[in-house]
Structure 1
Amino acid sequence: MKQRGRKVYGLFAVFTVAAVMTSACGDSGKSVEKSKEADSGAPPAPVTLTYFTQGNSIVLAETIESLVHKKFPHVTLKTIKDGKGTTIFDVLNGGQTPDLISYSLGGLGDMKTLRLLGDLTPLIQKHRFDLGRLVPGAVDTVKSYSDKGEFLLMPFELNNNAIFYNKNIFDKFGVPYPKDGMTWEEMLDVAKKVTRKDGGVQYMGFQYNALNVVYKDQLAQGFVDPKTNKAAINTDSWKRWLDVMTSFYKIEGNAQAGDEKANFLKHQTVAMRTGPNYITDLQEAMAAGLNVDFVSLPKFSGMSATSSQMNAPFYVIPPSTPHKDTAFQVIAYLMSDEVQTIMARLGRIPIINQESVKKEYAKDLKGMEGKNLAAFFQDAIAKPVPATAYDGQAKTIFTNAAVVPVYQGKKDINTALREAEEQINKYIEAEMKK
């Protein structure tokens, strides 16, 4: 379905670009008039921005609409939520290009393919937005997404990882709680101690969301060589990563079984887990008896000074919109201390490097008092690896063709890497022929 959508969009784009160019030329006089109105003190003309939102940001759509309209009474966000029949491909094929988009990092390749990315640098300079407000590493990572070092998107929150752990399971078996600053190897030892069967219930020591930990790779490894456009996963470094990360599921009784989120929150049979930060989903589980706390994400032995790759959803302004300035003003406001504080209190990790905002993290979430929330802020951003347009699908292939079959015991590491490499190369070759 996605491929068919792309082909249709290719035809649609020809007419869209022409229409936008005509519209832009026709609006030039109006822009001057609006500027004169602003100088004369007249209220700005009403503007409706079509806002497309996807991923975990969908649940915040109404909040964002309200905040934006309160700040800019003349601006109305017309929100389109990603879903069945309303994917970004569906919207574009229907003849509509959004003025503002929020998307998850896994869809960066789609944004490039659909030509929805444009350099935000001129707008950043025009509106005097201070990129120094972002956490260390964020700017360099964003620039790495462009061959020319352009600033193609604005990350608006962090998907930092931490270890969630169920204190009840540790108490049940008399095992000390995990600690901040562990290595993955130390984590393995802890997982073994709390992987037990008791009263007919199998308790699992540690589970994780495979695709998420692939995105958060701490060994700074690329997936595709940007010079050759060939898979770059069949390396000693990736072999080490696979060996360590799949070793958890080789613990007797800890084989991957079902959804890690459901196992941790609903069934409460997992002692420790990591992956997407679902702190906002803890309240119901805690009401059902879950006693949870957090420690920092472990690191590989000998690499205590390293961090993880940035995983952050982002805003983009499609080059075709005639409302670039308004759209960027909205983004700048959503990146303000005011809004970032509101989002932080709701459990969204702020992207801005402001201690006063970080201190507000999760304060509106019931039951978070006294929890080790600082663990989430120990997952810093590492130096980015060279990015390519094929990374998103390459990561998915790597996860499904290498990580999963290895931890399921269906393939050895060497075989899995070789076959995943072949799949990635076939995918790239097919994409290049389009």
Structure 2
Amino acid sequence: MTVKKKMACGFISALLVFMIGCSGSTPGSSDAKPAEDNKPSAPEALGPVSLTLFKEDTGVSAETVEQLIRKKFPQIDLLVIKSAKGTMIEDVVSGGVVPDIVSHSLGGLWKLRDLQLLSDLTPLIQTHKFDLSRFADGVVDVVKSYSDNGQQFLVMPFELNNNALFYNKDIFDRVGVDYPKDGMTWEQLYDLTKRLVRTDGNVQINGFHYNFLNVIYKNQLALPFVDPKTNKAAVNGEQWANWVKVMTAFYTIPGNQPPVDEKTAFMKNQTLAMRTGPNYMTELAASGMNWDVVSFPHFAGKEGTGSQMNAPFYTIPPAGKNKDAAFQVISYLMSDEVAIELARQGRIPILKSEAVRKEFGKGIAGLESKNISAFFKDTIAKPAPQTKYDGAAKSTFNSVLITLLGGQKDINTGLREMEEQINKQIEQEQRR
């Protein structure tokens, strides 16, 4: 075991809750070929090296990522640190360990910036000739928007979480209403929802519900929560008012009150006709439920525009000691070979390759007749301006919006309250 690995494992043992992958092939195995001096090596020629990977519990599992790396690079002495209580990325850094690769959710972007774990990957992209044109349309521009100058490539997103509209075909058949279609507007969906809501025997059938996190935080209109120029709330304006009017209208329909558990209502109880939010397609395929899916609804005048990008990512900390090797590993994890394997498991590929996309869901029994092309109908919405105060602002927006759904106050009053509360939170954070 290398010195670096001993230090890392010692830290993990001290915290008692680290979940690690300390085993691996011997770094000095005879079949490993050393890289040429002063010349970046191709993945096939990567020599013996020790790498530490921090993996948040998001996207592809840590076990899957570890297996992929070990199979392709048996010469790498790999340590995997999985995020858990006591082993969050801030715990790892405070313990003196700087991972060579960090895999994290997009929601943690500002935290990684504060921890100085983001670096511009552009030099490595150029050196290793990584082709950014392989990404789906809009991805590169979104990633560059995360940097202060709009030019740096700080993270390597590795899969998409595209929204779509799932529906229960049995409910539609029972009430005699036509199925939803690809390309619907929110207004058309509202009209369809009104036709579905009813009492069926003693059971209340709800027409449509959406997951707040997916629909609000990555809204299709790219509306910001905080103005990056003033660091003041940006929610009390005409555009947000129009968005709230459209998206709260569903809950003004008598009988379409939000369920306590949207997933249970749709998949287990089957009292919800349509929903959009997290993609649990694998569970649906195994459930025996009679369902299908169409593309995510859009706002009038914004045809073909999906949600903003919500993608977990890889990055390389500036203090990493093995950046070339780390980037070669990331490059492999972004290859068509890996993308096809993960697409077959139901992971939405971030690559635009038709060869990759046509494999989407093929490894999941029961999807053969489903309209899974719906996940690729829309383009990624342009990114909203980002600030370090967005997390608190989104939480406040969410809590006040709930009161609007229940009709406890009008939209203008709600937006004013959001604005006031967000500004107070920002002031509190600035005083810390």
User: In the alignment, residue 253 of structure 2 is paired with which amino acid?
Assistant: I
User: In the alignment, residue 71 of structure 1 is paired with which amino acid?
Assistant: K
User: In the alignment, residue 355 of structure 2 is paired with which amino acid?
Assistant: S
TM-score (norm 2): 0.87
1:13 matched to which residue of 2?
A: none
2:71 is aligned with 1:73: no
CA distance in 2, matches of 1:112, 1:425: 22
CA distance in 2, matches of 1:330, 1:39: 13
1:17 matched to which residue of 2?
A: none
CA distance in 2, matches of 1:95, 1:292: 49
2:379 is aligned with 1:418: no
2:125 is aligned with 1:124: yes
CA contact (8 A) 1:47 1:74 kept: yes
2:404 matched to which residue of 1?
A: 406
Task: Work out the percentage of aligned pairs sharing the same amino acid.
Answer: 58
Please state how far the C-alpha of 1:52 moved relative to its aligned partner.
Answer: 1.8
CA distance in 2, matches of 1:44, 1:225: 45
SS of the residue corresponding to residue 80 of structure 1 reads strand
User: In the alignment, residue 316 of structure 2 is paired with which amino acid?
Assistant: I
1:266 matched to which residue of 2?
A: 268
CA contact (8 A) 2:183 2:304 kept: no
**Which runs of structure 2 are paired with 1:29-428 in the superposition (5 Å)?**
35-36=36-37, 45-57=47-59, 60-149=61-150, 150-286=152-288, 290-304=289-303, 306-401=305-400, 403-428=401-426
User: In the alignment, residue 125 of structure 2 is paired with which amino acid?
Assistant: I
- Shift of the 39–424 alpha-carbon distance from structure 1 to 2, 3 Å rule, reads closer
CA contact (8 A) 1:224 1:390 kept: yes
Please state how far the C-alpha of 1:235 moved relative to its aligned partner.
Answer: 0.8
Please state how far the C-alpha of 1:45 moved relative to its aligned partner.
Answer: 4.8
CA contact (8 A) 1:99 1:323 kept: yes
CA distance in 2, matches of 1:316, 1:302: 36
CA contact (8 A) 2:117 2:317 kept: yes
SS of the residue corresponding to residue 380 of structure 2 reads coil
CA distance in 2, matches of 1:40, 1:249: 57
CA distance in 2, matches of 1:39, 1:130: 16
Please state how far the C-alpha of 1:215 moved relative to its aligned partner.
Answer: 2.5
CA distance in 2, matches of 1:277, 1:43: 38
CA distance in 2, matches of 1:40, 1:135: 27
CA contact (8 A) 1:230 1:425 kept: yes
Please state how far the C-alpha of 1:429 moved relative to its aligned partner.
Answer: 2.2
Instruction: Give the number of the structure whose residues are more often helix, by fraction.
Output: 1
CA contact (8 A) 2:304 2:378 kept: no
TM-score (norm 1): 0.86
Q: How well do the aligned residues superpose, as a CA RMSD in angstroms?
A: 2.2
Please state how far the C-alpha of 1:431 moved relative to its aligned partner.
Answer: 2.7
SS of the residue corresponding to residue 381 of structure 2 reads coil
Please state how far the C-alpha of 1:314 moved relative to its aligned partner.
Answer: 1.1
User: In the alignment, residue 254 of structure 1 is paired with which amino acid?
Assistant: N
| Most deviating of 261-270 and 331-340 | 261-270
SS of the residue corresponding to residue 239 of structure 2 reads helix
CA contact (8 A) 1:215 1:311 kept: no
- Shift of the 67–306 alpha-carbon distance from structure 1 to 2, 3 Å rule, reads closer
CA contact (8 A) 1:37 1:44 kept: no
Gapped runs of 5+ residues in structure 1? 1-32
Gapped runs of 5+ residues in structure 2? 1-33
